[in-house]
Amino acid sequence: MELLQLQYFLAVARLEHVTEAARSLHVTQSSLSKTIQRLEEDLGVPLFDRIGRKLRLNEFGSRFLRRAERALFELEQGKQELSDLASPEHGTLELAVTTASTLPNILREFRKKRPYIQFHVQMLTTQEMVTLLHRGEVDFCLSSPPIRGDDIECQIVFLDPILVAVPIGHRLADRRSVSLTELRDEGFVGVKKGYGTRDLVDSLCKSVGFVPKYVYEGDEPARLSALVEAEIGIAFLPSTARNSREHIKYLQVENHELVREIALLWHRSRYTSRAALEFREVVVEYFGAISK
């Protein structure tokens, strides 16, 4: 059995489509199909049910997938550990976030300590983050809500109040607080379903008898302030996203504790480099400072 066979098998198992898997691996479909066929011959069982060009894992394939993922995961961790030992001042941190408002300040602080470490940051939904965490493909995730699992370490680093953001000319702009029921007829701008803050807010509004009417739904939380400022709609924004330069008024929510938990997450078995350990310290120190 060859390492390449396992890598090709994982790609096909995750995408369940030969054409898409071949494209992601930058190989021809025929080469990919032959490699999978040789793997099945080596194992003595079929791993997929074939429906045209689509492949679906059968019971043999599902069981083998767990073992193959674990084997390749351990090899990748060994590779990272050796790289860290050989060149501890260089490397790349793989990061994923569902909440990005605090990330620039955190990265700025870390760069002061580790100027030669590079970053690769992905903005993800909660479910996308769960997938990457279980695969061990990221060093750390900064997430709201927290994610818990047998193979996931979860450290709550901050309790972040969620505020109602309204433009300066809005009817509520002279208020310091507002009840949720007063927002029943408002138009909202927000992120799409699947992001932690959106799901939390929708659930709370539903509990008091209404579903927020969204006039804009997107994937970029940072854009929401500009939309509120332009009077497109109002928004539920975490306090950490507040910007004093904006022409926006932030109101507290009355009679409800509307707070999101921000958590730092990592895979228990993923190799933790010295740079990654220092990054974790910077995150905890940063949130500790703004909590005071």
What's the confidence (pLDDT) of residue 185? Answer: 95
Same domain, 272 and 130: yes
Last-in-domain residue among 14, 46, 75: 75
In a domain, 81, yes or no: no
CA distance 116 to 121: 16
In a domain, 80, yes or no: no
What's the confidence (pLDDT) of residue 250? Answer: 95
The CATH number for 48's domain is 1.10.10.10
- Decide if 279 contacts 110 (C-beta within 8 A): yes
Q: What is the dihedral of CA 184, 237, 163, 159, to 10 degrees?
A: 130
Same domain, 200 and 71: no
CA distance 165 to 251: 6
In a domain, 53, yes or no: yes
Number of domains in the chain: 3
- Decide if 253 contacts 176 (C-beta within 8 A): no
The CATH number for 168's domain is 3.40.190.10
Same domain, 95 and 147: yes
Same domain, 116 and 242: no
Same domain, 280 and 152: yes
What's the confidence (pLDDT) of residue 244? Answer: 73
What's the confidence (pLDDT) of residue 197? Answer: 87
Please, which residues bridge with residue 263 across strands? 143, 156
What's the confidence (pLDDT) of residue 12? Answer: 92
pTM greater than 0.75 (yes/no): no
List the domain range (segments joined by +) for residue 133: 87-157+261-291
What's the confidence (pLDDT) of residue 52? Answer: 73
List per-block mean pLDDT (blocks of 10 residues) for the chain, which spans 292 residues: 90 89 91 93 92 85 91 86 81 88 92 92 88 88 90 94 95 96 96 88 94 93 90 94 84 92 92 91 94 80
